[in-house]
Amino acid sequence: MNIQNSKILVTGGSSGIGKAIATLAREKGADVLITGRDENKLKAVASEIGANYLLADVAKESDIEATYNWIESNWNGEFDVLINNAGVGYRKTLDEVEWQDFENIFQVNVFGAAIMAKHAATAFKKMGKGNIVNIASTGGVKGYPTGTPYSASKFALRGMTQCWQAELRPHNIRVFLVNPSEVTTAFANPERVEREDVANKLRPKEIAHATISALEMDDRGFIPELTIWASNPF
């Protein structure tokens, strides 16, 4: 697809990977809507990169509906790409996990992503084309110590992605799964402060580059799953 003049929705777009994807998409001429839960951060990023913004939490179905109402009002119900980027997570050993941990993480990483994609698929079917990008994790390919709730959510997202690929290919809707390895963002930081770049670690811009590059492939093809590793993180 051609990113220029396309319309792209990025959830969790006010920081980290979401902000990097939104920034690169704007640099390539896309009209971008970023959503998130922190209005001050959304306003600042939208002003910085020239994007639209909407205060919306993917863990709330009413906010998801508000997002698609915005698209109906401002983009005539038509857009080209959903970037399912909003995500939460934290580390706990198995003997520390509680029921609520799964509720907290799955509300965003699984339930929210699925309902966002449901509405996008409805719009894309009417258009006869579209793109859904699910930002997952290498934790959704291989589990790790202290990763039980988070890794489970990303395994679920990976499984849902494969279901949607099977369902939506006949409608010319491409569904991508992007698995970043460790990235220096505010993710899992209780203060939600962005971490400093580390020379041998991935930055959000590497994930943005991979995501936008995959989208730019001609619409006749797509990359079902893309995993990004740091070259030498050791």
Question: Active-site residues: which are they?
Answer: 150
Q: What is the spatial distance between Cα 63 and Cα 36, in angstroms, rounded to a whole number?
A: 10
First-residue to last-residue Cα distance in the chain: 36
Please choose, from the candidates 184, 168, 183, 174, the residue with its C-alpha nearest in 3D space to the C-alpha of residue 225.
174
Tokens of 54: 């909407």
Q: How far is CA 171 from CA 43, 176, 181, in A?
A: 35, 15, 31
Rg, Å, the chain Cα set:
17
Residue 199 is classified by DSSP as: T
Name residue, tokens 């396309």: 6
Query: How many Å apart are CA 31 and CA 12, to the nearest integer?
Result: 16
